[in-house]
Structures are given as structure tokens and as C-alpha cells.
Amino acid sequence: MSKQAKIESFNPNDIGSLDNNIYGLPFTPDEASLVILPIPWDVTVSYKSGASKGPEAVFDASFQVDLFDSFVHDAWKLGVAMLPINKKIKSTSIALRKKAEEYIDLYAKGKTADTNTKMRTILKEINDAGAWVNNWIKDEALKQMRKGKLVALLGGDHSTPLGLMQAVAEVHKNFAILHIDAHADLRNAYEGFEFSHASIMYNAIKIKQVSKLVQVGIRDYCEDEFMLSKSSKKITTFYDDSIKAMHFEGKTWAEQCKDIIKALPQKVYISMDIDGLDPKYCPNTGTPVPGGFEFDQVVYLVQQLVKSKKQIIAFDINEVSPGKDEWDANVGARLLYKFCNLCLVSNGIKP
């Protein structure tokens, strides 16, 4: 059946069919305009693991999401699909997470890889695996882009999108990263891990095509990260406490969104850590922090970005860690759907 025939026969008001792709949509990755890469990886998380289960949990929760989007007319027709989960990435993450926990425990006791042979061996294995995962993501993303697809990444921990950012840099010669997060993620090889979830933006700004890093909602960071942000012409940070203070003093979120968008060039990559939201939306995420955004604040920001006629060239959502219920995955699935629709519309793709 052709894509158009599927659209004509599909009822978006019906329950989501489990035989279909994400959100119960009838499209295959080959038919989709936007392809989601699910990356079940959370080896280097420093507090609580579980994000590797995020992609599968979000996929399962997606069938409960209503497909009507008041901002994007006939959004479901745009064409979104998720690739199958890579079993080798999943199994490698499970195996290495146990080794990482052992390494982190020794690290917390004051031991280092420089003097401890076991730690040195584990560190090399994890850093090599991190490089392998990012190379796989880059290759897969480029393969999809060469087919004319937009690409999004669903983590996993926040180390995972580096490969997608690198792939985007081979297609777009100048772009910014809009980074929504509780954490600055500007640590250099945190705990020795080159591809740490706490180092993603430190690694990202090394990409020469990334002309700007605009960080929003940051509220948990160390002095080194603060000084790097302050000294770098490449980084502009809108800290959570400043956002809240301006709100308390009468500056609306709409006005603040204009300031954020003004700091961005035409082409924008969005990197979203779910802990950028208030922890009530993500209580099981790996490193929850008090404060943060309402769900609708983040959606509004991205909607205003689209209204400004700027182009969302790719995006990622990370650190969704399911608990005993589906709440975290439910929130992640709904945010992912909004982002997919807005990304497609910003690229001029119509139903």
C-alpha cells in the first residue's frame, strides 16, 4: 500500500494499532519524512540509571497519545516513524553499565585510572564503546539524511546525540544548538569518561560548524562550567534562576522567548534533556533537580522558534527513565510528538 493510500485509509481518531509504528502511525521509516533513532544507552550516568529503557518505554506509551495537534494542522499526515532498537547497543550498554558502576564506586573512594589497573582497563573499554556508539549514530543519521529524511534521536542518556550532531555538521555548515536542560553538561571527560552524559555540550562546541550554543533553564552546574560559559563567545546561557527572577519581576515568558530566539542563527539543532522540565514531569530521570520548566513552556518556546521562521534541522530528547508507571514515558512521548511536528513544519513539510 502506498503512503498516500495509507493516509486515505487511516483513522487518526481511532485507537493506536500496535501493529503500526510509533504513535500507531502507519508509516515505515522509508515512507516517513522524519525518522527517529532510538538509542538505549546509559553507561556513564553518575547518579541513577534507567535512561537506556527510555526509547522502548516512550514507544509503548506513544500509542496513548492523541494525534490531533492544534498548532500543526493534520500533523499525523506529515510522516513520522521510528527505527527498530539496535540490540547490540542495548546489550553493550547493559554489560558496560555494571563495569561503570564498579569504576564509579572506586572513583568515589579516591582511586584513579592513573594508578589503578582495573579502573584503567574499564575506562578504556567504556571510552572505546562510546566512540563506537557515536560513530554508529553518525553513520545511520547520514544514511537517513541522504534519503532526504529529517532525523531525531531518542535516548538514552545525554551522551548519545553527539553522533547526530556530527552528522548534521556534515550537511549544514553553520548552526546553533538550543540546549534545554537542568545541567550545563560542559564538563571535560567527567569522571574520566570522554563521552559522559555530563560532557555532551563540551564535546559539541568542539564541532566547528556549531557557531553558537544557547543553553536554557540551567540550574545545576559547577564553577568550571560557569566560567567556561562566561568566557566563551560561543556560549549564551539563560539560567533558570534568572528566568524565574525576571518572571517574578514582570517579564513574561513570551518576552523571554524572544530574547532566546534572538540569540540563535537561522539553523537550529535542539537538544532536550527531560530534566529541563520540573521533576514532577520526570520523577525517575537520572539526575532530577528542583525548579525547571512547565511542559507547556518548552512547547511554547519551540512553537515561537517555528513562528520566527527559523529552521529546526534536527533534535534529540534524552534521559527519559521509566518508573513503575508510565508517567515519565507518557510525558516523553507527548514532548517527542510535539517536537517532531514542529521540526517538520519548520522545514516547510506539509501534509
Residue 323 to residue 81: CA distance in whole angstroms? 25
- 37, 154 in Cβ contact below 8 A? yes
Tell me the per-residue pLDDT of 333-348, one tens digit each, with 9 for 90 and over: 999 999 999 999 999 9
Tell me the per-residue pLDDT of 208-259, one tens digit each, with 9 for 90 and over: 999 999 999 999 999 999 999 999 999 999 999 999 999 999 999 999 999 9
Q: Above 80 in pLDDT, residue 46?
A: no
CA distance to 52, 62, 236, 340, per residue, from 151 (Å): 19, 18, 25, 9
Residue 190 to residue 118: CA distance in whole angstroms? 18
Which residues does residue 316 pair with via DSSP β-bridges, in sequence order? Answer: 153, 271
What's the predicted TM-score (pTM) here?
0.96
Its sign, for the CA torsion 274, 277, 281, 287, is positive
- 6, 26 in Cβ contact below 8 A? yes
Q: Which three cell numbers stand for residue 206?
A: 568542539
Chain mean position to CA 258: 22
Tell me the per-residue pLDDT of 63-105, one tens digit each, with 9 for 90 and over: 999 999 999 999 999 999 999 999 999 999 999 999 999 999 9
- 23, 298 in Cβ contact below 8 A? no
Residue 16 to residue 168: CA distance in whole angstroms? 32
Question: For the chain, where are the E strands, in sequence order?
Answer: 34-39, 80-82, 150-155, 175-180, 210-218, 235-239, 267-273, 311-318
Residue 70 to residue 287: CA distance in whole angstroms? 32
Residue 63 to residue 299: CA distance in whole angstroms? 20
Tell me the per-residue pLDDT of 273-321, one tens digit each, with 9 for 90 and over: 999 999 999 999 999 999 999 999 999 999 999 999 999 999 999 999 9
Residue 218 to residue 287: CA distance in whole angstroms? 13
Domain range summary for the chain, segments of one domain joined by +: 3-95+137-346
**Can you name the CATH fold of 3-95+137-346?**
Arginase; Chain A (3.40.800)
Which residues does residue 36 pair with via DSSP β-bridges, in sequence order? Answer: 82, 152
Look over the chain and give the mean of its residue pLDDT values, rounded to a whole number. 96
Question: Is 216 strand, coil or helix?
Answer: strand
Residue 42 exposed, middle or buried by CB count within 10 Å (0-12, 13-18, 19+): buried
DSSP codes, 42-74: -TT-SS---GGGHHHHHHHHGGGS----SSSTT
Its sign, for the CA torsion 305, 254, 230, 201, is negative
Residue the block writes with cell 534521536: 153
